[in-house]
Amino acid sequence: MLRQAARSLWRTGASRSICSSSAVMQETSEQSKEDFLKLFAPHAGMLSPPEFSSNFLPKKAAAEATTAIPDKLQFNFFVPHETVCKSEKVDLVLMPATTGDFGVMPGHVPTVAQLRPGVVTIHKELDKVVEKYFVSGGFAFIHPDSSADICAVEAVKVADLDADAVRAGLQEYTSKLASVQGKGDEYEAAAAQVGVEVYSAMNAALGP
C-alpha cells in the first residue's frame, strides 16, 4: 500500500515537473528568438531572417511532453534468434550498462545505453513477478513514450545456467589468458579476456 502511494505521488510530481519545465523552456526559447530578431532587423539589409533549430521541430513535441506518465513500462526484448518480450507491460527493468547498472520505470528520460555482460531483471509486478536473464552484451533504448527496447547478442534465463559449466569455463579462460599474455598474440589475448569477463559475470549472476 505504501509503495503504491509513493509511486503514485512520484508519477504525479514527475508529470507536473515535465509539464511546467517544458512550458517554461518553450516560452523562454520563443522570447529569446524575438529579442534576437529585433536586434537583427536594423542590420539585416537584404538578408532574410535567420532560421532557428526549434523551427524544424514538430509542433506536437510540446503536447507530447505534457502527456501523463503511464502506470506501466512497455518493454521489448530481442535476441537474433527469438523475441523474449514483445510489448510487455512491466513495472521496472534493471539493466547492466557499461557505465553501471540502472533501472527503467515509466517516465524515464530517453536514453541509449550499451550493455555489458550481466543480468537483466524484469519486474512484471514490482518485487512479486520477477524474471532474470543473463545477457552477453547489447544495447538498450529508452524512448520518451515510456517504452524501452533491449537488443542483446544472447540471452538465457539465470535459472537455466549450469553452475558447474560456468565455473569450468571461467577456469579455462582464466588459464588461457594467463598463458597468452605477454606473448604478442593480441587476438588470442583479447578472446581470452572476453571469455573471462563473460564467465565472471555469469558466475556472479549465479551467486555464492
Return the HEC string of 102-161: EEECCCCCCEEEEECCEEEEEEEECCCEEEEEEECCEEEEECCCCEEEEEECCEEEHHHC
Alpha-carbon distance 78 to 2, whole Å? 34
pLDDT of res. 34: 82
Cell numbers of 147, please?
517504452
Bridge partners of residue 114, in order along the sequence: 139
pLDDT of res. 20: 42
The 10s digit of each residue's pLDDT in 172-205 is: 999 999 998 888 788 999 999 999 999 999 999 9
Cβ-Cβ contacts under 8 Å for 143 (sequence gap 6 or more): 110, 149
Cβ-Cβ contacts under 8 Å for 107 (sequence gap 6 or more): 11, 14, 15, 18, 69, 146
Q: Which residue numbers in the chain have pLDDT < 50?
A: 1-3, 5-6, 9-10, 12-25
pLDDT of res. 5: 44
Bridge partners of residue 10, in order along the sequence: none
pLDDT of res. 136: 94
pLDDT of res. 29: 63
Q: What is the DSSP letter of 117?
A: S
SS3 45: coil
Output the pTM of the full model. Answer: 0.66
Find the helix or strand (DSSP H, E) in which 57 lies.
none
